[in-house]
Amino acid sequence: MIMIHRAVFLDRDGTINYDSGYVKDPAEIVILPGVAEGIRKLKYEFGFKMVVVSNQAGVAKGIMMREDVEAVNSRINQLLMKEGTAIDAFYYCPFHPDFDLPEKTDCRKPSPKMILTAAEELHINLGCSYMIGDKASDIECGINAGVKTIMLQSSNFDKEISALHNQRKKTNFVAANFIEACDFIIKDFLEDNN
């Protein structure tokens, strides 16, 4: 029998780690406050798979290589493992419509393709899963995949929330930080399972 999992899908840069713009040097990775603690709690106390879904257009733009993306992903997990937790799987879209054919860019958020692929490969029930991100495209991706969404407040929050409103879409919850996002998920999950 295949076990069906619940998951929290996470944007990477700006959600898990500090976003300096086209993050490609593993030595510069800084995990944002509360991230390791929140992931650890969701994963081990509540049984959520932790899955990163990330646009990495820097590859298409020639700013970085796929190996750079994978090295950064590895470094993120090394740092999280020091805090007693880890990401279960990383998915990323290295393509961009300005540089690649349309059929290649269909993985790019707000497309739900990375989430749908992860759901199929990891046996995830999207009906009891969530998406955390700091951009409108993260929230739209989650909505398009049929998961509940949490938007993190960031320096571009007003611009990102306006972009969502312009699409006539809204997030399930706005969180001031990663721990608040996790607290919302835990509360929502417990309410749904009582």
pLDDT in tens, 59-108: 999 999 999 999 999 999 999 999 999 999 999 999 999 999 988 999 99
Greatest Cα-to-Cα distance within the chain, rounded to the nearest angstrom: 50
Give percent above pLDDT 90 in the chain. Answer: 92
Beta bridge partners of 148: 130
Could you confirm whether 138 is annotated as catalytic?
A: no
pLDDT in tens, 122-163: 999 999 999 999 999 999 999 999 999 999 999 889 999 999
Check: CATH 3.40.50.300 for 6-192?
Answer: no
**pTM of the shown model:** 0.96
Q: Which of 11, 19, 88, 138 is catalytic?
A: 11
Could you confirm whether 88 is annotated as catalytic?
A: no
Structure tokens at 189: 């999950």
Q: Where are the domains of the chain?
A: 6-192
